A and B are shown apart, each in its own frame.
Chain A
Amino acid sequence: MIHDNYLYIILGMGIVTYVPRWLPLVFLSRRSLPEWFEQWLDLIPAAILSALIFPILITTGDPRHLDLLRPEFIVAVPTLAFAVKTRSLAGTVIFGMFLFWLAEKFI
């Protein structure tokens, strides 16, 4: 069975999710952009990856608070070192998973 209004709700959710994904692709990919804006966009991946991952590693709870002793963060340090050293995505993912599995087991 499908809940009342469920289809409308997920359609609404889908539209407001899709439009921000779609608009910049269609509007920016065919324009030549000013140099400062190209530079800005070039820095966005480094900025956004950092902004995504750090709070996940060192904050927890609701409301969020700082916790530097989470296994997520402790494991992140050798995982980062491994990534810098090997520059291998596959290796880093497997190494990180293995360390996290160990950490969950023994910490």
Chain B
Amino acid sequence: MTPMNSEERTADWVAIIKDGVIGAWPICLGYLAIGLAFGVIAQKAGFSPVEIGLMSLIVYAGSAQFIGISMLSAGAGIVPIVITTFTINLRHMLMSSSLATFMRNLGTGRLSLFAYGVTDESFALNSAKFRDGKWDWRRALVLNHTTNLTWIASTVAGGFGGQFIPAGALGIDYALSAMFICLLVFQLRGRLYVIVSIIAGILAVILSLLLPGNSYIVVASVIAATLGVFLKRSKSFAGTERKS
């Protein structure tokens, strides 16, 4: 390790925190809207701001929290709620696997701290930023925890009964969709990626009409990526790719 004086180290951390927090803004905007909506729904279902905040802190998963609240108010027991949460959130396993390739040689403590903040949104954004370079696990960690704090604060604020932002204001409900669309474009780094994403998209739509829940995300992604690897390894495709 190169020795650093404390001033340099502070400057370093300031830059890291700045990059992470600023990088997080599209997610924060989306979480603000969804978090407030979640808080309002949970409050109407009889949950207190403390209960809402605890759930956002301990679970930290948007769709699972919405479903958890509706199952709890329908009187469901702990086992079905936990099993449902598990199946909804299994998709994060794919995301963490993919992120692992950017998180080489870190201690278990740092990885554990990072793992807590892996969501659809932070995965999508961090993947693009890692790919872009100029990004590291510290910035990714700051980004994750910035979005996490925004989520907790927004859900609790909603839990006090305030919608604060009128529904549909400024198109804020579309922030995350627009972000996903753009991050998908960033991932299309060649013909193979375009083909894989088209296959994944078509499969996901078809499966979402056939299967209940969100298992279509994992099934469609795994099939599309697997086909992609076969395609990449087939000689004919490799040949055309080199020519183009």
Q: Which residues of B sit under 8 angstroms from A3, Cβ to Cβ?
A: 47, 51, 72
B97 within 8 A of A: yes
| Count of chain A residues near B, Cβ 8 A | 77
A60-99: which have CB < 8 Å to B? 63-66, 72, 75-76, 79-80, 83-84, 87-90, 92-93, 95-99
Residue of A nearest to B81 (CB): A9
A20-65: which have CB < 8 Å to B? 20-30, 33, 36, 38-59, 63-65
Contact, CB under 8 Å: A41 / B82: no
Q: Which residues of B sit under 8 angstroms from A12, Cβ to Cβ?
A: 78, 81-82, 85
> Residue-by-residue, is B169-189 near A (CB-CB < 8 Å gives 1, otherwise 0)?
111111101111111111110
Cβ 8 A contact of B96, one of A9, A20, A51: A20
A1 within 8 A of B: yes
Contact, CB under 8 Å: B60 / A89: no
Q: Which residues of B sit under 8 angstroms from A53, Cβ to Cβ?
A: 177, 180-181, 184, 201
Contact, CB under 8 Å: B185 / A13: no
Contact, CB under 8 Å: B181 / A96: yes
Q: Which residues of A sit under 8 angstroms from B86, Cβ to Cβ?
A: 16-17, 20
Cβ 8 A contact of A17, one of B29, B92, B99, B178: B92
